[in-house]
Amino acid sequence: MFSNYLKIAIRTLWKHRTHTLINIIGLSVAFGTCILLFLTATFELSYDTFHADADRIFRLSFLTSNRDGTPEKSAIMPYPISPALKAEFPEIEGVSRFFDRSAPVRRGNQTFSKDVRMADADFLHMFTFPFQKGNPQTAMNSLSDIVISEKMAQDVFGKEDPLGKPLQLRINDGWQAFTVTGVIHNAPKNSTFDFDALIRSDNAPDYQENKTRWDHGNHDVYIKLKAGTDPQTLQRRTQAFMNKYFAQEIKEQKEQGYPKNELGFQKSLLLEPMRDVHFNTETTNGQGISRTYVYTLLLIGLFILAIACINFINLTIAQSLSRAREVGVRKSLGAKRGQLFGQIWGETLMLCLAALLIGLGLAYVCLPTFNRLFRSHLTLVDFLNPNTLLATGLGFLFISLIAGGYPSWFVTRFNAVEVLKGSVKVSRPGILRNSLIVSQFTIACLLIVCTIIVHQQISYLQQKPVGLDKEQVISIPVGGELNGEVALKAMRDRLANQPNITAISGSGVNIGAGLDGSSTRMIFGFLYGKRDITCDWVRIDTDYLKTMGIKLIQGRDFSTKFSTDSSSAVLITQSMAKALGEANPIGKYIKPDNKSFQIVGVVSDFNLYSLHQKAKPIALQMQAKHPIQYILVRVNLQNLMDAMDIIKGTWKTIAPKQEFIGSFLDANTERWYKKEQRLATIFSSAAGIAILLSCMGLFSIALISIQQRTKEIGVRKVLGASIPNIVALLCKDFLKLVIVAIVIASPIAWYAMNKWLADFAYKIDIAWWVFVLAGFLAMGIAVLTVSFQSIKAALMNPVKSLRSE
């Protein structure tokens, strides 16, 4: 019996091979796409779940309010908060600072560029990073201890045992000796912490100077609670702690009229669960990823799968009348409804299984391209994971049941007598079919609108003036091995006579995301009279304005002619002058960092960081204690690549052991929006696949519909209907469905995109024409899809279609 069913299934699928091919292509593309998107989303959602006690680990952040009442969060913590919390709250099991920094590592004559992070001894007990060698209880007891990763041990020591071996790290412009006390396994790819080595946070260059200051912060702090501790109860208890240690700041905020935060206090301490840190885009300096992005991947995967299933259901139901006689004969010969259901559903199962296997093959073949486009880290191991295989198997059965179950039930309910008499009637089959077509095109229109708006926003971000001329400027990371001021002077001396070089300067902050992958920011808050001022505090050098194309509005630029410029002078932006309440601030003094600085110039506002966040007022200074981290070189437009080669060659003479990773600032600023570019690629790809699958389904439905109306078309032609009239008649019904889909999709797309745009401080307004354009695109695609078969049917000789009557 089984072999008989199998033969009939193969014959049936081959008989309707056009529709079988459409279904297999649609389902295989949908399965392949969904597998890749679901694996990516699962990977993102798995961040930091490998820690054994992840549910008891929290990152600290402050919650305050701006003058307008909007909440402001910051995860930058002062040095003394860690020991104070551990001393005053017995329910805290461990506390660790964490500095996201890099440092050159030297062994003998070899120098390595490694990600050396600073943490506290509790870090090794709080987080699950298993030791390969060494004792986690004592590995960071001394200031000179260093714990290295498996990869770093291989790179630096090769096959030698690294335990007890000396290393040197360049910290604070000098080489400092360390001893390897432990080797730990490499951090998993789904870890928020990425490091090659760990040293004690007490080694930070400014630790001794600021270890008792509560008004100076530069690192994250993580805490681990004892088992059974309620984090919400502890968070409420920390308010008294905040009132005690931040009393002066709270008092000043009250005097200046700052509103209370959403918890009802001036300043509060929040406990953010470890598993949420990866999804925090507000306090992670652009390193976090929105959960919305992850859920968007899942939703797009479901959309594409839904479209493929809708195609299958529509085609199967549309073909049901052609199988009615077969079902009637089988019923009259004694076949039970369950047997018929099993046979027809078995055909679906065969088709879905073939589509799944092809889809898995497509996913594997496309894996390298997918990883490159979407910056994912999927491998074959992810496919073969037992959980993945189980989820794929269950998903396959569910889809087979949904896609094949209803059509199988629909076909087997026909009455055998009516079928054999030729009087079978299906009650209003168009309702379900039309609903499914509307659903398909609603999804397609939704993705078209989202694609257009995402591309518009990216284009706006890239083209919006940022207050400086980022074209033709090359940024060179100095690295930790060189002194920034010495390197800058050497570059100036050696490039002084180069006609392709127009200006050279230095800065402590890069513009955009450079190839070194580093991002730094220093923010100072201080009082000016009764005004509370917060500003970015940026180290620059002479000729910075000329190099960056920033306009001087008032006063003068920094100059070597004024000795005080390198110690007690600042340039401020227009927005900072406004915040100070000074129409002419030249000569006035401000006092950030407990030192007086005289304002010598006012420059136009410019953006130091991405347009996701509102630009803060900026103070530019030349204090030697803040190092030059980047050398900036402006070159002539005519010889960009020649200039890059000259600069690269010059840099090699200054730092022969260091890799040159200079980059153009315009390329750096584009990398600010790589997540948005990735989202745009996802939407574009998904919209393309959704439209393709929708059109394939519409084509098949139109083909079956026209076949069932062949005699009607013949009669209309005999009665004088023209070809355009017949084409319009056949297209009209489908066009109505597309218009309904546009009406449904537009408000959904508007709401979703407004939510997405809310993450940007600078954003576009959604224009009405976007929805009109998406509508015309959808209607145009639908008309083209249906017109081919409509014109073909209209051109048929009516004699052929009517001769049987």
Judge whether residue 184 has pLDDT over 80.
yes
Region 454-463 average pLDDT: 84
pLDDT at res. 576: 92
User: Averaged over 703-732, what is the pLDDT?
Assistant: 75
Residue 534 CA to residue 217 CA, distance in Å, equals 14
The model's confidence at residue 39, banded by pLDDT at 50, 70 and 90, is confident
- pLDDT tens-place string over residues 727-781: 777 788 788 888 898 999 999 999 988 888 887 778 889 888 999 988 888 888 8
428 or 184, which is more confident: 184
Task: Specify the long-range contacts of residues 716-723, CB closer than 8 Å, at least 24 apart.
Answer: 717/794, 717/798, 718/798, 718/802, 723/791, 723/794, 723/795
What pLDDT sits at residue 620?
A: 93
Residue 69 has pLDDT above 90, yes or no: no
pLDDT higher than 80, residue 257:
no
pLDDT of residue 97: 93
Confidence of residue 80 (pLDDT cuts 50, 70, 90): very high
For 379, the token pair is: 């491998």
Report pLDDT digits (tens) over 193-238: 989 999 999 888 888 888 888 887 888 999 999 999 999 999 999 9
Q: Which two tokens stand for residue 105?
A: 């590592």
Tell me how far CA of residue 13 lies from CA of 27, 50, 311, 419, in angstroms: 15, 47, 16, 22
Mean pLDDT of all residues in 432-458: 84
Q: Report how many helices (DSSP H) and strands (DSSP E) the chain contains, helices first.
A: 26, 25
Is pLDDT of 324 > 80? Answer: no
Token readout for 354 is 């073939």
pLDDT reported for residue 599: 92
Q: Is the pLDDT of residue 95 over 90?
A: yes
Q: Is the pLDDT of residue 707 over 80?
A: no
The answer on pLDDT for 581 being more than 60 is yes
- Higher-confidence residue of 790 and 88: namely 88
Provide φ and ψ at 228, rounded to 5°.
Answer: 90, -5
* Residue 94 predicted with pLDDT over 90: yes
pLDDT above 50: residue 623:
yes
Asked if residue 561 has pLDDT above 80, the reply is yes
Sequence-ordered list of residues with C-beta below 8 angstroms from that of 324, at least 6 positions apart, any chain: 411, 414, 419, 424
Helix (H) or strand (E) holding 603: strand 597-603
Among residues 589, 604, 606, the alpha carbon closest in space to that of 554 is found at: 604
SS3 letters for 197-260? Answer: EEEEHHHCCCHHHHCCCCCCEEEEEEEEECCCCCHHHHHHHHHHHHHHHCHHHHHHHHHCCCCC
pLDDT at 415 over 70: no
Q: pLDDT grade, residue 298 (50/70/90)?
A: confident
The residue with greater pLDDT, 616 or 599, is: 599
In the predicted structure, residue 275 carries a pLDDT above the cut 70: yes
Q: Residue 180: what pLDDT?
A: 93
pLDDT for the residue 109: 80
| pLDDT > 70 fraction of the chain, expressed in percent and rounded | 88
Nearest one of 507, 537, 524 to 594, comparing CA atoms: 524
Note the pLDDT of residue 20: 76
pLDDT (tens digit, 9 = 90+) per residue, 605-619? 888 887 777 778 999
Comparing 121-125, 302-306, 326-330, 645-649, which segment has the lowest mean pLDDT? 326-330
- 121-135, 364-378, 478-492: range with highest mean pLDDT: 121-135
Average pLDDT over residues 112-135: 90
Q: Are 84 and 165 in contact (CB under 8 A)?
A: no
What band does 429 get if pLDDT is binned at 50, 70 and 90? very low
Percent of the chain, pLDDT > 90? 21
Closest-CA residue to 484 (of 619, 351, 627, 590): 627
User: What SS3 state is found at 64?
Assistant: strand
| CA 724/CA 643 separation, integer angstroms | 63
Per-residue model confidence (pLDDT) at position 428: 46
Block residue for tokens 């598993």:
275
pLDDT of 698 strictly over 80: no
When the pLDDT of each residue in the chain is averaged and rounded to a whole number, the result is 82
